[in-house]
Amino acid sequence: MEEILKRANELGLLLKKTKAFSEFESISKEVESDPDASALLKKYNEIAETIQRKYELNSPIESYEKEMFRSLTEVVVSNELLRKYIKARDQYMELLLKIYEEIKDIT
């Protein structure tokens, strides 16, 4: 178990050295320091999570929720900082998924 944790720590340190991680960390800090962008991102994530939960539970998604999500999506996409954030987040998540796939293929 100790060896596994040691290797996991090494992997974490390698991840921190990647361009994907450093760009995501940098842009995340920019978003956090921008009150408008961070509030908008929070609202967007909340409604996206609500819709996702309802979808998974086969619960009806109300029309006002769909409209709110559509509206917030338009605002998020029009915000340059949030567009950069989403791009950096997606690149970092893609790296994490590749790592997961490599580990999964071993078992």
For 79-104, the pLDDT digits (tens) are 999 999 999 999 999 999 999 998 88
- As a whole number of angstroms, the distance between CA 20 and CA 99 comes to 13
How far, in Å, are 36, 45, 61, 78 from residue 84 at the CA level? 15, 16, 29, 11
For residue 31, give Cα distances in angstroms to 26, 53, 92.
Answer: 9, 25, 16
pTM over 0.85: no
Q: Is pLDDT at 41 greater than 70 in this prediction?
A: yes
For residue 107, give the DSSP letter: -
Tokens, residue 13: 């340190």
Structural domains of the chain in order of their starting residue, each with its CATH number = 2-106 (1.20.1500.10)
Mean pLDDT of 25-43: 97
